[in-house]
């Protein structure tokens, strides 16, 4: 199989008849959804309804017990690497290493994402600036506040273009301006033809580019 999730047409993500169990307990059953380039799938539901689990399934950290996730027709489970290379996941744990400076932390992520060494420093500065935290570049991340850490984690999204962003409660710990920044980043990403799957109850101001998915409709 030589095909990858990258194709010449617009991206399309399909969730088909997904089910997830924890132990013997079903979390959701018969869950369907569809997302096209330039749109965001906004997953809502009460605490414990399975939003994070769904996002982790899409990102590839958990396997669904039934059903399929297709990106341009290619099954998530059968094409893990090309999927991972084309998505960015931001979860509750920020994956930020304590002794590094904020700039070095981002540089490390840029290397992981395959940004050429020559361009890394500029990307890091641009990403920190976009999140309004350039002044934190030389501080060790262990001294950052919760909101500053969140901004630093979000800055990763801008290091390299990846068409699919999977964002679990991206505005957690952010103040009002930080939340507005996230909404702006998501809007810009969609403008570039990107896709976003996010669990958030915060209005993102995306208008008809936001597709709601109430996960409780798939409750057992
Ligand atoms: N590793 C696990 N083992 C067993 N149960 C789990 C595991 N991970 C999650 N669960 C359970 O699955 C259910 C869904 O959890 P999940 O974190 O996906 O919900 P959520 O909708 O994101 O919740 P919240 O709004 O509180 O963040 C919960 O009942 C949770 O306890």
Q: Name residues whose C-beta falls within 8 Å of residue 129's C-beta, 6 or more positions apart in sequence.
A: none
pLDDT at 77: 86
Please indicate whether residue 48, judged by its CB atom, sits closer than 6 Å to ligand 1: yes
pTM equals 0.93
SS (H, E, C) 35-90: EECCCEEEEECCCCCCHHHHHHHHHCCCCCCEEEEEECCEEHHHCHHHHHHCEEEE
Please indicate whether residue 91, judged by its CB atom, sits closer than 6 Å to ligand 1: no
What is the sign, positive or negative, of the torsion defined by CA atoms of 171, 175, 178, 183? Answer: positive
Q: Name residues whose C-beta falls within 8 Å of residue 165's C-beta, 6 or more positions apart in sequence.
A: 87, 88, 90, 157, 186, 189, 194, 195, 196, 197, 198
Summarize the confidence of residues 174-194 as an average pLDDT.
95
Residue of 27, 90, 171 to test ligand 1 pocket, by largest number of atoms within 8 Å of CB? 27
Please indicate whether residue 120, judged by its CB atom, sits closer than 6 Å to ligand 1: no
Mean pLDDT of the chain: 91
Summarize the confidence of residues 11-39 as an average pLDDT.
94
pLDDT at 9: 65
pLDDT at 8: 60
Grade residue 5 by pLDDT with cuts at 50, 70 and 90. Answer: low
User: pLDDT (tens digit, 9 = 90+) per residue, 199-217?
Assistant: 998 888 899 999 999 999 9
3-state secondary structure of 185: helix
Cβ pair 23, 17 in contact under 8 A: no
Grade residue 3 by pLDDT with cuts at 50, 70 and 90. Answer: very low
For atom 1 of ligand 1, which residue has the closest CA? 22
């Amino acid at each position: 199989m030589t095909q990858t999730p990258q194709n010449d047409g617009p991206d399309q993500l399909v969730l088909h008849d997904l089910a997830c169990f924890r132990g013997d307990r079903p979390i959701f059953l018969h869950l369907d959804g569809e997302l096209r380039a330039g749109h965001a799938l906004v997953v809502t539901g009460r605490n414990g309804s399975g939003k994070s689990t769904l996002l982790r399934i899409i990102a590839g950290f958990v396997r669904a017990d039934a059903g399929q996730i297709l990106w341009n027709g290619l099954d998530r489970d059968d094409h893990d690497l090309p999927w991972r290379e084309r998505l960015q996941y931001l979860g509750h744990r920020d994956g930020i290493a304590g002794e590094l400076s904020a700039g070095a932390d981002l540089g490390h992520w840029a290397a992981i994402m395959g940004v050429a060494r020559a361009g890394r420093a500029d990307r890091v500065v641009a990403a920190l600036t976009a999140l309004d935290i350039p002044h934190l570049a030389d501080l060790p991340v262990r001294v950052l506040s919760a909101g500053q850490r969140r901004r630093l984690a979000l800055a990763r999204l801008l290091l390299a273009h990846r068409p699919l962003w999977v964002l679990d409660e991206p505005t957690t710990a952010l103040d009002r301006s930080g939340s507005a920044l996230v909404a702006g980043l998501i809007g810009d990403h969609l403008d570039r033809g990107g896709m976003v799957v996010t669990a958030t109850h915060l209005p993102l101001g995306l208008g008809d580019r936001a597709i709601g998915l109430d996960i409780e409709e798939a409750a057992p």
